[in-house]
Structure 1
């Protein structure tokens, strides 16, 4: 199950950004560079929501590779994004 849990009436910013990132990476809506677009949309969404994310290029590449390999669901992606909150 990849939708918000019933006890999650209002999914947080990181879950919503994770859903966007997952969708863009897996559905590849653009002719190319979907990974970069997904990254940019996720970061922009998080920051426009007043939250932060602080990860290096290698961390983002690994996250996107894990998404493409179907090793993560939206909850896992959100957990990783939350772990990158700037202190």
Structure 2
């Protein structure tokens, strides 16, 4: 049996600040697999992912239908939190700037 392939990004470790994609991936994984709501968990998880990346000061441009496919892959066990973080990271907008009203002191 072969070991699982290593992620192209190093996973967050103690003392290292994870990026917004890692935080969004963790919340997405938790929202889907723990099913906190009686229904509409996929919709909730997609909204949480977008909100988490936005609060992490990262813009994302998501292709139509991709978050739902991402959730279905995660539920079916075809993808892991590492793969989800990589897919969320691929949606980043490279020239994202923090709006002037959100500038932190």
* TM-score normalised per structure 2: 0.72
5 and 51 in structure 1: CA distance in 2 versus 1, 3 angstrom threshold? closer
Listed as ranges, the matches of 1:1-87 within 5 Å are: 4-6=11-13, 9-87=16-94
What root-mean-square deviation, in Å, do the aligned CA atoms of Structure 1 and Structure 2 show?
1.7
Tell me the distance in 1 between the aligned counterparts of 2:46 and 2:92. 15
Q: For 1:9-57, what per-residue CA distance to the aligned partner results, in whole angstroms no more than 9, with x for missing partners?
A: 2211100100000110111110110110011011011111110111133
| Structure 2 unaligned regions, length at least 5 | 1-10, 95-105
- Greater RCO between the two (CA within 8 Å, min separation 6)? 1
Larger radius of gyration: 2
Tell me the distance in 1 between the aligned counterparts of 2:25 and 2:48. 10
* TM-score normalised per structure 1: 0.85
Size of the alignment, in residue pairs? 84
